[in-house]
Amino acid sequence: MRDCRQFYINGKWVSPSLVDDFAVINPATEEPISTISLGKVADVDKAVAAAKNAFSSYSETAIGERLALLRRIIDTYKARSEEMAQTISKEMGCPISLSRAAQAPAGLAHLLEIVKVLEQYKFEELMGSTLMRREPIGVCGLITPWNWPMNQIVAKVAPALAAGCTVVLKPSELAPLSAHLFAEILDQAEIPAGVFNLVDGDGPTVGAAIAAHPDVDMVSFTGSTRAGITVALDAAPTVKRVTQELGGKSANILLDDIDLETAVRDGVQVCFRNTGQSCNAPTRMLVPRSHMANAVAAAKQAADATKVGDPFADGVHLGPLANQAQFNKVQRLIRVGIEEGATLVAGGPGRPEGIEKGYFVRPTVFADVRNDMTIARDEIFGPVLCMIPYDNEDDAVRIANDTPYGLSGFVTGSDIDRARRVANRIRAGNVHINHARVDFAGCFGGYKQSGNGREWGKAGLEEFLELKAIFGYAGRIK
């Protein structure tokens, strides 16, 4: 990979307006693996100007031209997929097996899906004498996190390009290398100058400048609810569109007709996946009170069997947390769980036995958790499961919905009709029945403090479009 101190602006790799070196840390070793430069307001201004200039022509391109561009990106992405997987594992600690199976392929999946959508999408529809026309919204500022870098970057960039928008991307400064590789992929695919721009930086400087910029027509943000609020406040004076995919505290309701051991094992594994650093992770396991003792035993067995270690070692289930701040946060919240009286079933504070360095944590399970405890309310973003008893189906739904979040939910049950009824009652943007895999043609986004707007598929494309009514388009104008 090339020098990561540069930004990608107007079709070229350019030096920052002011060099401000920032080390990218490998979380498994705590050692630097690269250096970026943190951008300034002047760099954002330059990138936005390039995007604004490019919008006038790119927004008018034919659908066939956009499809051709997206297909070139797909071909280039495929050729560099192993490089992408390796980069993600180095920068944020994901096991290489997961990077190859999910992290890198997620970006490709969004590209393939948006091609399918664009091939069939109707940007114009005549309703009587009125033409309903969908047009690209304009220059889009995209701010993305470190936990699923390609999933979240491409879930924004792909529909923006399909819609005819131009973009300025600020990836997480903690895991920016995959974004730089993606910029190289776009450049190799001959994306027109100014259509895609990348500026590294932190939230208070570059993120705030993008959100507040008067020439940015839309901001799409993924990250914490706290940071999402700040982005919305920065964007408010210019009345631009703001879409947010924020935090979650998803409940996994285990119904009383299940194979308990299998359901608990699966729930633990999905909660811990990506070292628990998924906003939709099922971190609250709701168990029938009469089944709790057996469920706790099964959860302990599953947690104790989870192997933590070097992301590039064979057989590793969990790598480190992605950065030191996240490590400190998870350690603090595990201690809070113990202090508030939850029963520690597995794991606990500190690194796993035999590991002295790196942001590794012990896969942790708490039982006897009340839904008003801190560990049941706050998004921990680590491999920490809270097991909460419930008395009946109505009680389970009440507990599941008793959260400020509403990103995702899970229902596990043998009676599919019953599971569907329960899923319909969960106040969340998406619900998994029996751990069904995500469908990239579906949509992703949340209720309540989990955000606004939707990503993925057709719904994701429409977030980047404005709807215009042209009256009297058909027939004589009176």
Domain ranges of the chain: 7-246+446-470, 251-433
pLDDT of 201 reads 98
pLDDT of residue 291: 97
Annotated active-site residue 245? The verdict is yes
Architecture label for domain 251-433: 3-Layer(aba) Sandwich (3.40)
pLDDT tens for each residue of 366-386: 999 999 999 999 999 999 999
For residue 228, the one-letter residue type is G
For this structure, is 165 an active site residue? no
What pLDDT is stored for residue 379 in this prediction? 98
Residue 131's pLDDT band, with cuts at 50, 70 and 90, is: very high
Mean pLDDT score of the chain: 97
Task: Please give the single-letter amino acid code of residue 469.
Answer: A
C-alpha pair distances (Å), 17 with each of 5, 39, 206, 328: 11, 8, 13, 33
Mean pLDDT across the stretch 119-144? 97
Instruction: Give the model's confidence band at 2: pLDDT under 50 very low, under 70 low, under 90 confident, else very high.
Output: confident
Dihedral (Cα; 458, 48, 147, 18), 10-degree rounding:
170
User: Would you state the pLDDT for residue 286?
Assistant: 98
pTM of the complete model: 0.97
The pLDDT tens digits of the residues spanning 81-103 come to: 999 999 999 999 999 999 999 99
Exactly one of 4, 140, 279, 443 is catalytic; name it.
279
User: If 0-12 CB within 10 Å is exposed, 13-18 middle and 19+ buried, where does residue 364 land?
Assistant: buried
SS3 153: helix
* Active-site option among 245, 379, 462, 463: 245
Q: Is pLDDT at 476 greater than 70 in this prediction?
A: no
Average pLDDT of the segment spanning 155-182: 98
Fold of 7-246+446-470: Aldehyde Dehydrogenase; Chain A, domain 1 (3.40.605)
Q: Region 159-177: what's the mean pLDDT?
A: 98
What average pLDDT does the segment 41-67 reach?
98
Residue 478 pLDDT: 45
Assess contact for 190 and 72: CB atoms under 8 A. yes
pLDDT tops 50 at residue 472: yes
User: CA–CA separation, 121 vs 33, rounded Å?
Assistant: 43
- pLDDT tens-place string over residues 13-42: 999 999 999 999 999 999 999 999 999 999
Q: Percentage of residues in the chain with pLDDT exceeding 90?
A: 98
Residue 392, pLDDT above cutoff 80: yes
Q: Is the separation of the CB atoms in 234 and 211 below 8 Å?
A: yes
